A and B are shown apart, each in its own frame.
Chain A
Amino acid sequence: GDSVTQMEGPVTLSEEAFLTINCTYTATGYPSLFWYVQYPGEGLQLLLKATKADDKGSNKGFEATYRKETTSFHLEKGSVQVSDSAVYFCALRRFSGTYKYIFGTGTRLKVLA
């Protein structure tokens, strides 16, 4: 069945450091891929998405490219801020009557000033 694997956290970085959070997936066909972010005490919210191979999703300085050949959707940001401290979830989505998501286990990011 479908699955999503994320790198284990926590990830601790200094402000302005470069961020990469790895995400790989296993799926048949061509699912859409997502990154959701969960700030402390809140529900998840969409960060970015890509719906087909080679698409690049971007938002708030974060980017991720849908790589079908490596079944990956790694999240990157060139310069992190303290306000980026959160838990990041990679997910894939299929449509079967309704939209169904498979989430990764989440990666906690802590950015130090």
Chain B
Amino acid sequence: NAGVTQTPKFQVLKTGQSMTLQCAQDMNHNSMYWYRQDPGMGLRLIYYSASEGTTDKGEVPNGYNVSRLNKREFSLRLESAAPSQTSVYFCASSEVQGVAAGELFFGEGSRLTVL
């Protein structure tokens, strides 16, 4: 029962390097999200995808791009990493209808350090 799977769990980058965080969910959810978690700031929404084929900016999208590859997968790309992007990144998914409508299901997180 995997739920939401994120890779990698840990990554260290140098300033200016690029990388992609991968996320996959096996619950057949329509909506997927990327959040970042920083001390004293809670979770902030970076990008979301309401359904396959759509993506929209959240609260803090600058410096990031996303791709909704298919219904299962939603990736987050840092094109030129900056120290301000050091954070823990969480992928989440949810469904619009049903008993658990709107409940967010989270992955275990990806800890990224940019030197």
Which of A45, A46, A95, A98 counts the most B-chain CB atoms under 10 A from its CB? A98
- Give A62-113 interface residues, CB cut-off 8 Å to B: 89, 93, 95, 97-101, 103-106
Instruction: Give chain A residues whose Cβ lies under 8 Å from the Cβ of B44.
Output: 103
Interface residues contributed by chain A, number (CB under 8 Å): 22
How many Å lie between the Cα of A112 and that of B66 in the bound state? 42
A101→B31 contact, CB < 8 A: no
For B103, list chain A residues within 8 Å (CB).
46, 49
Interface residue? A27 (CB, 8 A): no
A contact patch SS: strand
Contacts of B90 in A (CB 8 A): 43-44
Complex Cα distance, B44 from A4, in Å, reads 12
Interface membership of B69, Cβ < 8 A: no
A105 to B42, CA, bound (A): 4
B31 and A98 form a contact (CB under 8 A): yes
A residues with CB within 8 A of B: 4, 32, 36, 41-46, 49, 89, 93, 95, 97-101, 103-106
